[in-house]
Amino acid sequence: MALLKATPDITIEELRDSLSKEDLSFGYGTIRRFFERHNITRKKRPPMPPSKIARMS
């Protein structure tokens, strides 16, 4: 969690590489499920507003 706070835009693969340097090994799916369980998202862009569909006539 400290690594995520230090680098909030890190990808899962970059996170795996950083953890492996600390002699910790986790699979991509393991980290993804951890994020899912703790409601952590890895989106690089902010969410877009919903499209507004208006009547044409």
Does the pLDDT of residue 3 top 70, yes or no? yes
Which amino acid appears at position 41 of this protein? T
Collapsing DSSP to helix, strand or coil, 45 comes out as coil
| Nearest alpha-carbon partner for 2 in 24, 26, 19 | 19
Q: For residue 42, which of 7, 50, 55 has the smallest C-alpha distance?
A: 7
Residues 6-57: tens digit of each pLDDT? 888 888 899 999 999 999 999 999 999 999 999 888 766 666 676 677 665 5
pTM for this model (two decimals): 0.64
Q: CA 57, CA 26: separation in Å to the nearest integer?
A: 56
b/e burial code for range 35-55 (CB count within 10 A of at least 16 → b): eeeeeeeeeeeeeeeeeeeee
